[in-house]
Amino acid sequence: MKTYELLAVFKPNLDAEEVDKAIAKLNDTIVEFGGKVESTDKIGRKKLAYEISNFRDGFFVTLNLNIPSDKVAEFKRQLRLTDSILRTMFLEVSAKSAVK
């Protein structure tokens, strides 16, 4: 399994409990695909550089996770279908940068 980093921007109209539930649902999806969440970092509410779906800010969350390579495309599809997420950035973490 490869290591990935996911940055998700959630809609700002969600309260803290709803964001926690959405993160838990993401974690469950990752486990369903045979992956594992290494760490979760709730960065918090930040102003966006430009408006996305009529929102000027969003709640940022970073997840470090392991997931099988053949499940990545389906996981990305699930991310796009999640209503509470405005944007995502899904990156593969190289072995050199993970060792620091």
Task: Report the alpha-carbon distance of residue 31 to residue 16 in Å, rounded.
Answer: 23
- Domain assignment present for residue 89? The answer is yes
Count of domains observed in the chain: 1
Domain containing 76: what range? 2-94
CATH number for the domain including 56? 3.30.70.60
Query: Structure pTM?
Result: 0.87
Q: For every one of its 100 residues, what pLDDT tens digit does the chain have, with 9 covering 90 and above?
A: 889 999 999 999 998 899 999 999 999 999 999 999 999 999 999 999 999 999 999 999 999 999 999 999 999 999 999 999 999 999 998 766 655 5
CA atoms lying within 13 Å on the CB side of residue 66: 7
pLDDT (0 to 100) of residue 1 = 84
19 in a domain, yes or no? yes
Per the domain annotation, does 99 fall within a domain? no
> In this predicted structure, what is the pLDDT of residue 92?
92
pLDDT for residue 35: 93
